[in-house]
Chains A and B, each alone.
Chain A
């Protein structure tokens, strides 16, 4: 790739800047926290204009349907009574929160910021791998890589190559927060600097002008949430982009053992007095079991055919699917629905016969716990290893931000596996990242 050759000279410089800017990723391993650099590869993933336009339509459609689904299951549950989704997949999942039943978030938006993971097969077809509707992270990495690239590369480089400007993420994020704001400040809540994504929290705050706050800065009084400044002055908050998970959000409503959180924030959210971004309870829609039903959801709520495909998926819960799984075990990848971050993923052909026997017994005992998927032979993407280019597996996390309508950010986080034999690209498992270039319209 000619661009790769052109970029190679700048690789060291950009990586050095990234390190200096503290672009890091925190990892917990064996009870210890380590911060490590998130390796950046300068060869971008390039998606041409028309191809992205198609992805864009498909992603908007998908996120819109997922949002409708959340609205539905926390109110009337029509999709269940109409028999489209087995209720077991909703009520016995860990993502569904009973506390959210009957609560409507401001403007009916549940998934303000969605991170949808895709892969491209060798024949060029894109497949959705996973929907992340809780607190998807990662947009800051291509943002800062582009920003630092702009500092290092010749002026006009990106314009010359017809790359869509991705610097509008902060603007999209502000628009998303403002749209649901119930009156008052918009803030970004971080659990603190020992969080894996702290770099991202502070970067977003800097770019959007929102206050970066921790739980100690917040208090609920009467029916509102307030930000307390150093002098003790209180200012009302109308939207909170929280980067802590539901269970730690509010110790009097969720996990009472939580040492962090904002007591009563859920009580005033219930009354409609603050927007929580993303809404509590979204885990009900990004469960790996629910993923299976997303194409059916699109047809059910939108009366449209899905534009983007799921990877072919089977639910052992259904007898026919179970038969297929047992007959094709070696060609499938099995995933534990409760796990994330690349954990709990088993390739059928990697198991010894005794391991396989044991696994199948578990599958039969707890069919609701697993999904099986065809292994997609996804396209390799070139990375630099020293000065030579080598192929590696990579996925794409696309970001969809919802305000008056869903908007797909014209960039995305491309993650790659550094290990040539691995399909697992998660940053928590040592993968690296790339910028994602969307081409502007051909003139």
Chain B
């Protein structure tokens, strides 16, 4: 039976000094597709002078807008329910996947990733998806989950050289490896059950559709993975891209809560 999940995503930016003319573009809203159905979604953004919704070139739901008046914090609350069918295939046309085969700044393989890749067995009888699973296993053995060392701008090559990092780094390194073999693959930001931050994983193109795998946990994504956005790398999935006047230091708090809604008896 299918799980139904309830999710809450909260993001708050605190500014040391008040800011004005704050332009934002948010990308933190799960939307329905062949794999997941979203119900009862509520979105609150504060403060707002105007806002507008659109889908970006990757199909991610975005809300852009401006907060003109002075404010010392900026907050976004999103909550809703999701039902995920892990067998559901999100189709991708062949002529739309070319861009996912080539490295980006964050997924460029340097010497250390290339050397790691050279240590793999060739195994050219595998499909791209099987090969990605194989490389995910190898990466999982080699890399140590360690928070606090890498940041959002850390590239795959930098993280792999350290052999330590978090979910974003696992995803970027796997993308860099797949792209060395021109396997179409993309970065996915989302949420999994528990309390904490957002999660990140990868999707691999396989037989006309995207299949989600999670290199941080070395497994295929099941029906508890709620997708928020996808793109070539984390930059395409930036939760918030904003500019403003003033502010001094700013701090960001993100809180994600996902739990299962038990069927009523």
Contacts and interface: CB of A to CB of B under 8 A. Distances in A.
Interface of A: 76-78, 80-81, 87-88, 90-92, 96, 98-103, 220-223, 251-253, 256, 263-264, 267, 270-271
Contacts of A256: 241-243
A283 to B, nearest CB: 15
Given A92-B103, A222-B52, A98 B66 contact: no
Contact of A77 (B64, B65, B98): B98
A81 B94 contact: yes
A267 B58 CA distance: 14
B220 interface: no
B50 A252 contact: no
Contact of A99 (B49, B56, B98): B56
Contact of B236 (A98, A100, A222): A98
Interface in B45-84: 49-50, 52, 54, 56-58, 62, 64-66
Contact of B50 (A96, A98, A101, A222): A222
A104 to B, nearest CB: 12
8 contacts: A77-B95, A77-B96, A91-B101, A99-B56, A221-B50, A221-B66, A256-B243, A267-B25
Given A77-B98, A98-B57, A256-B243, A264 B23 contact: yes
B54 A263 contact: no
Nearest to A101: B57
A253 to B, nearest CB: 7
B99 A252 contact: no
B243 A263 contact: yes
Interface in B217-262: 231-232, 236, 241-243
Given A103-B57, A221-B66, A267 B243 contact: no
Given A81-B95, A91-B102, A96-B99, 13 more contacts: A76-B95, A87-B98, A88-B102, A91-B101, A98-B58, A98-B232, A100-B57, A103-B57, A221-B66, A223-B52, A251-B243, A252-B24, A252-B64
A213 to B, nearest CB: 17
A247 to B, nearest CB: 13
A221 B56 CA distance: 19
The bracket for how many chain B residues form the interface is 20 to 34
Contacts of A78: 95
Nearest to B235: A256
Contacts of A88: 102
Interface of B: 23-25, 49-50, 52, 54, 56-58, 62, 64-66, 94-96, 98-99, 101-103, 231-232, 236, 241-243
Contacts of B56: 99
Nearest to A223: B52
A270 B23 contact: no
Contact of A80 (B25, B52, B95): B95
Nearest to B58: A98
A99 B66 CA distance: 20
B67 to A, nearest CB: 12
Contacts of B57: 98-103
A170 B2 CA distance: 65
Contacts of A223: 52
Nearest to A97: B57
A223 B64 CA distance: 10
Contacts of B24: 252
Contact of A263 (B23, B62, B98, B99): B23
The 9 closest A-B pairs by CB, nearest first: A263-B23, A101-B57, A252-B25, A92-B102, A87-B98, A77-B95, A91-B102, A251-B243, A91-B99
A99 B241 CA distance: 14
Q: Which of A103, A251, A263, A271 has the most CB of B within 10 A?
A: A263
Contacts of A101: 57, 96, 99
A76 B95 CA distance: 6
Nearest to B95: A77
Contacts of A98: 57-58, 99, 231-232, 236
A100 B64 CA distance: 17
A263 B22 CA distance: 10
Given A98-B99, A252-B242, A253-B241, A263 B232 contact: no
A222 B68 CA distance: 13
Nearest to B23: A263
A147 to B, nearest CB: 41
Contacts of B49: 221
Nearest to A252: B25
B82 to A, nearest CB: 25
Contacts of A251: 23, 241, 243
Contacts of B236: 98
A414 B42 CA distance: 60
A417 B102 CA distance: 39
A70 to B, nearest CB: 15
A263 B66 contact: yes
Nearest to A268: B52
B99 A253 contact: no
A118 to B, nearest CB: 32
A92 B101 CA distance: 9
Contacts of A264: 23, 25, 64-66
A91 B98 CA distance: 7
Contacts of B64: 252, 264, 267
A253 B27 CA distance: 12
A294 to B, nearest CB: 20
Given A76-B95, A263-B243, A253 B54 contact: no
A99 B232 CA distance: 11
Contacts of B66: 220-221, 263-264
Contacts of A91: 98-99, 101-102
A87 B96 CA distance: 11
A251 B95 CA distance: 29
A98 B65 CA distance: 21
